[in-house]
Structure 1
Amino acid sequence: MKNKNCYYPLLGFCLTVLLWGCESAQKKDEIVLAETEGIARSLEYVVVKRPSQSQGTLVLKDKDTDEIFRGKKLIQEDSNQDSISYIFPMSINAHQKRTFLVLDSDSGQGQQEETLKITGEHPAMTVENRFFIADFNTSPAKVERGLYPGQLSGIFIKKKHILLKRELNNMHWAPNFQKESEDYKTIGHANVDDAKISQNNSFFLEMVKKGRVKGYEEIDLWEKYKFFAGLPYFLYESTMSFNKEANLFFLRNNEMTMDKLFTHLVYSDSLGKTKEIPLYDDVKMDSLTKAPLADDVKWVGFINKPKGYGLVSLQLDYDNTHINGGESTLYKPHMKITKAGNEGRYWNRRLVHDHNTIVTKGSRYHEKNAYLVLDGLDNLNKQINYFFKAINNPIAIYYSSE
């Protein structure tokens, strides 16, 4: 069953796909981009598909201003595909419509482009944009515990010169699971044999991984990270699919665990209002144990009020539909805020909450989140709601004749 508060953006983020059949593309050489939500987009990425015989550089030229936007070709997973996709950086005002000529090449001056910087070799690498550096490296201590590179271990906020991390662990600690007879494991314990970079250009990086963890072969794991030049967030999508019945003590997702780097929890309540709780007030923290956050809370995060930074998880999709229909096995699902060793704090989504539970074959747990890196807290509620709305409502795109 779909969670009642699921959100379904086209591709789950600011990446709008134009489905362009070969016959139609030959007849139409214009597209219209429309902003329909009343929020200006200083940068958003759109993807245009063109017939496979169009091999040149794809260009969008604004009919009114002559602005030029040049696309980057995306990697085709299937060589037999009859189309080629290009990704474009785009800007648009609130409620604006922009009409573009679609050209195979153009010698005019294009927009200045922001770029991603990749250091190292996949999966032990860093990904850098204007706002942050995401680190996917590991350490000898982690390797001894079976944690492979390729899982997010830390985020360096460039403006604040702050490294978000969890000592001796990966910062991104999800999905994760445990049987009473086995050690606590995460997708970071799945080897990297089936990990790859699926898209890599100066605008956009996509990494995917699938596999199983020793002792938990009943669970087929899949994950995808997506990073963009010039945007202060990254996307993470994961699925846990049970190929056999399993007896689990807990099952969790959307977990970020960090050292003592934050002062407050922030989240959206059921009425859409921003709530704030001190992370180091024992009475307030204990109240969250008695009355935890809903498992489908639309966003949750940590901030440091004196230093002015934060990290917020925006829910884009949360779906626990069993492969045969109905709902996958759950036990007391909720969003948990937890005290950790050395005064660390973490949040996670509890799917099976600390209770031996038979998870049936065919159970499937899927979610997609945007992780927003905040390097300033002015108008916090406005910042979060802007990105939540923009990511969930990408730029509309259609043919000019429609």
Structure 2
Amino acid sequence: MVKLYPTDLKVQGMAPGLQIDNSKMSVILHPNSGHLDEIRLKSKPDAPLYHRLETNGAMHWNPDVYVPPRPWSHTADWKPPRNISTVAGSIIARSDVWDDMREVPEVDASVRYEFYPGVPYFVSSTTMRIKESVQALALRNAEMVIKRELITHAAWYDIVSDSVIIYDVAHMPDLTDLKMEADVPWIIFFNKEKGIGFAGIQLNYSNASVESSLRLLNPFFYITAGPWIYWARGLSHTFTSSNMQQIVPVLKGSIFSEKWAYLIYETDKTAEPYTPVVEWQKRLTNPLRIQLVEEVDERVSKTLQEIFMDEGKSGWEGRDTKRH
């Protein structure tokens, strides 16, 4: 008999364009790419956050790579991705999409979302792999884009000054870049009038290479604005530098990965608009630790047996290899 665990976590729609709801929030994934398209806090149903302006219009755009003269390619440009996997349960709902980057088959990427019951956040994991070296003007990840009119302020924790910076982005000139460290622990967009905030909490960030020297150029995090406002990680991003035509090789075997929690919350219930984010960041970066203890049949051998690669001594001659 199957035991059921009813919760408030619900999934509906056809993948990749799912809608995921719990008691705290509602999330809509883009029907073409399966990327975050809209998020709404249930306690503020009249203040949804979305983008829907440039190209694919999704909120979550990355990973991405720009290899001129080919077009700038984002995972959010998939129509649809070649691979789609969905888990819809009462404890966790998960959406996985992965494919080569459009117009750049030398690079492939994956995007995973995990949703849980009763919490106002979801977890996103992204990976980008360089299968063959490319010459790029931009290599980015962790980009979140929101329609400009929906946001009045940004905030982030500055690890250099050990302080929180709050910035009025409503009056920020177009294409102004606000830069911060690559390991910024959290970053927020919020609307002061509507009392709604959207936060990214960084859980893990890794760059590695299998067969080449890792090639980055001043990795950083930044905010910029136009008809939209977005934050993103520049892994190698000369396109926004003073030398906008400098091509940087991204070498075969390089792997870039991120893991973030994205939180939607009310900013007008605490003394500071970032207070709930600090509290959630402490919880999410210090999770409950779980260890699986397996039941083992008594007939299973307790003697270790190993098959060695080459002939010769093992070093275990004359020793008892039985577990006690």
User: Which TM-score band (shorter chain)?
Assistant: 0.7 to 0.9
Q: Does the CA contact (< 8 Å) of 2:211 and 2:252 recur in 1?
A: no
Q: Which residue of 2 aligns with 1:158?
A: 42
| Cα 1:284–1:243 shift into 2, 3 Å | closer
Q: Which residue of 1 aligns with 2:260?
A: 369
Q: Does the CA contact (< 8 Å) of 1:243 and 1:362 recur in 2?
A: yes
Find the aligned partners of 1:277 and 1:285 in 2 and give their Cα distance.
Answer: 15
Amino acid of the structure 2 residue aligned with 1:319: S
- CA displacement at 1:320 relative to structure 2: 0.8
Q: Which residue of 2 aligns with 1:391?
A: 284
Q: Which residue of 1 aligns with 2:182?
A: 295
Q: Does the CA contact (< 8 Å) of 1:126 and 1:137 recur in 2?
A: no
Alignment of 1:65-144 (within 5 A): 114-138=7-31
- CA displacement at 1:187 relative to structure 2: 0.8
Kindly provide the CA deviation profile for residues 178-200 of structure 1, in whole angstroms up to 9, marking residues without a partner as x. 11211122112333331110x32
> Aligned to 1:124, what secondary structure does the other structure show?
coil
Alignment of 1:98-247 (within 5 A): 114-138=7-31, 148-160=32-44, 161-168=46-53, 169-190=57-78, 191-197=80-86, 199-247=87-135
Kindly provide the CA deviation profile for residues 114-141 of structure 1, in whole angstroms up to 9, marking residues without a partner as x. 3212221111221111222111134xxx
Amino acid of the structure 2 residue aligned with 1:135: I
Find the aligned partners of 2:124 and 2:292 in 1 and give their Cα distance.
Answer: 31
Q: What's the RMSD between the two structures over aligned residues?
A: 2.3
- 1:268 correspondence with 2:157: yes
Identity over aligned pairs, percent: 26
- CA displacement at 1:347 relative to structure 2: 0.8
Alignment of 1:329-348 (within 5 A): 329-341=215-227, 344-348=228-232
Q: Does the CA contact (< 8 Å) of 1:278 and 1:284 recur in 2?
A: no
* Number of matched pairs: 277
Q: Does the CA contact (< 8 Å) of 1:277 and 1:284 recur in 2?
A: no
Find the aligned partners of 1:322 and 1:399 in 2 and give their Cα distance.
Answer: 31
Q: Which residue of 2 aligns with 1:35?
A: none
- CA displacement at 1:325 relative to structure 2: 7.8
Bigger helix share: 1
Give TM-score scaled by structure 2 length. 0.79
Find the aligned partners of 1:263 and 1:375 in 2 and give their Cα distance.
Answer: 14
Q: Which runs of 4+ in 1 moved over 4 A?
A: 283-286, 397-400
- CA displacement at 1:257 relative to structure 2: 0.8
Amino acid of the structure 1 residue aligned with 2:216: L
Find the aligned partners of 2:291 and 2:249 in 1 and give their Cα distance.
Answer: 47
- 1:378 correspondence with 2:263: no
Find the aligned partners of 1:153 and 1:283 in 2 and give their Cα distance.
Answer: 26
| Cα 1:135–1:235 shift into 2, 3 Å | same
Find the aligned partners of 2:207 and 2:33 in 1 and give their Cα distance.
Answer: 28
Gaps of 5+ in 1: 1-54, 58-69, 73-112, 139-147
Q: Does the CA contact (< 8 Å) of 1:127 and 1:134 recur in 2?
A: yes
Q: Does the CA contact (< 8 Å) of 2:174 and 2:225 recur in 1?
A: no
Give TM-score scaled by structure 1 length. 0.64
Q: Does the CA contact (< 8 Å) of 1:279 and 1:285 recur in 2?
A: no
Amino acid of the structure 2 residue aligned with 1:211: D
Kindly provide the CA deviation profile for residues 264-318 of structure 1, in whole angstroms up to 9, marking residues without a partner as x. 11101115532201002337984x55xx211211111101112111101000001
